[in-house]
Structure formats: structure tokens, C-alpha cells
């Protein structure tokens, strides 16, 4: 049977405890610094790290990172591609782009095309990089007249075209490529036009 611990035994245990486990106020020194304990080796020996109390100061790198985050917050991560549903709408978009002297990128896709579906979010991220210098649009070939598809010269999908001055300047066909390769080709196509 275990006997109840006497007050003398409890005081002896407190004196034998390591200093890093004692938390409290040291006489004449104010509060003890924060201590973080961790197991130094698989054995039962502990190591202690003291962290001085007081306000924490941000490092210069941390403030620069905070500034970068605020700049990135202002720029969108992704820009949704505006859909074009008719030939009149495409003519209006091309006319507006010509007035503003902005090139536009058209993604010709189909809702059933797996590569088109994979490519669209990546193009939306690319659109955010060039926003607002270049406008990005998407056209579902199943929702527009075949006359419009023939006018643009689309033969395979996904087809990404760069239009400037109401004329097709370049195109990338994303048929047998990985989507990141297609995005690199689109980026090169845009850089050559600018």
C-alpha cells in the first residue's frame, strides 16, 4: 500500500527537479524567460532553449515578404476567360480590341474535350499574368455557328489563337502536348507579338 507523501518529501522532490522544469518568478529577477524543452537524444536527457521575454521584432526579410504579399494580393491569381457565343459578339470584341490597340487571345474549345478542360484553368492563370494588357476569351465550338469556326480556321482543339488588328496573327494547337508545354508555347507566342 502506498503511503501519502509528506510535506518534507514533496520539498525534496522540488529541489531535485531540473531547473528548466521550474516555472515561476525568480526572486529579484522578474519572470523567468520562456523555455522550450525538447528531447536531445532518445535517452531521457532534456535540452532547454531560453527565449527572452519582450516584444518580438520582425526581421527585414519578413517585412519585405509582407510587402510582396500585398503586391500579389492586388494582382489577380486567375482571370476567368470571357465566353463568346456568337459571330456578332466576336466582331464586337475584335472591334473594341482594335480601338484600344490590345491583342486578344481566343481559346477554341469543346465541352467534351478533355485536353480543353485541363488547359482552361492554366490559361486563366496565364491571363492573370498579362491582365489588363491582353484580353483572353473562350469559344465553345458546339455553341457557335460552324461559319464562325471556319472563319477562324480552327481545325483541331484546343486551339489558342492570338488576334491583333482584327486578324489572326498566330496560333498554338494543344492537341498532343502536355498542358504546361502548351502554356509555354502560348507565352512565347504572346511575347513575340509584344
Q: Domain residues of the chain, as ranges?
A: 77-193
What residues does 38 pair with on adjacent strands? 47
Burial label for 157, CB within 10 Å (0-12, 13-18, 19+), is buried
> Active site includes 159?
no
Whether pTM > 0.75 for this model: the answer is no
How much is the average pLDDT of 68-94?
A: 83
* Planar angle of CA 159, 162, 166, nearest 5 degrees: 120
Per the residue annotation, which of 113, 138, 143, 159 is the catalytic one? 113
Q: What is the pLDDT of residue 181?
A: 84
> Active site includes 138?
no
Q: At what angle do helices 179-193 and 114-130 cross, to 10 degrees?
A: 40
Secondary-structure class of domain 77-193 per CATH: alpha beta
Per the residue annotation, which of 116, 138, 143, 159 is the catalytic one? 116
Tabulate helix, strand, coil % of the chain (nearest 5).
Answer: 40, 20, 35
Q: Is 79 in contact with 128 (CB distance < 8 Å)?
A: yes
Q: Which tens digit of pLDDT belongs to each residue from 116-150?
A: 988 999 999 999 999 889 999 999 999 999 999 99
How much is the average pLDDT of 97-110?
A: 94
Q: Which tens digit of pLDDT belongs to each residue from 108-125?
A: 999 999 889 889 999 999
Amino acid at each position: 500500500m502506498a503511503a501519502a507523501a509528506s510535506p518534507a518529501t514533496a520539498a525534496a522532490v522540488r529541489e531535485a527537479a531540473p531547473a528548466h522544469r521550474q516555472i515561476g518568478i525568480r526572486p529579484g529577477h522578474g519572470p523567468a524567460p520562456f523555455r522550450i524543452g525538447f528531447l536531445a537524444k532518445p535517452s531521457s536527457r532534456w535540452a532547454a532553449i531560453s527565449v527572452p521575454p519582450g516584444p518580438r521584432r520582425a526581421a527585414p526579410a519578413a517585412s519585405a515578404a509582407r510587402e510582396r504579399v500585398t503586391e500579389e494580393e492586388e494582382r489577380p491569381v486567375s482571370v476567368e476567360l470571357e465566353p463568346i457565343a456568337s459571330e456578332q459578339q466576336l466582331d464586337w470584341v475584335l472591334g473594341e480590341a482594335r480601338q484600344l490597340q490590345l491583342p486578344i487571345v481566343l481559346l477554341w474549345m469543346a465541352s467534351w474535350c478533355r485536353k480543353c478542360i485541363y488547359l482552361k484553368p492554366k490559361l486563366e492563370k496565364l491571363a492573370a499574368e498579362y491582365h489588363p494588357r491582353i484580353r483572353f476569351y473562350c469559344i465553345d465550338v458546339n455553341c457557335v455557328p460552324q461559319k464562325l469556326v471556319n472563319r477562324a480556321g480552327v481545325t483541331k482543339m484546343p486551339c489558342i489563337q492570338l488576334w491583333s488588328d482584327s486578324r489572326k496573327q498566330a496560333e498554338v494547337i494543344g492537341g498532343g502536348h502536355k498542358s504546361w508545354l502548351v502554356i509555354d508555347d502560348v507565352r512565347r507566342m504572346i511575347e513575340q507579338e509584344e
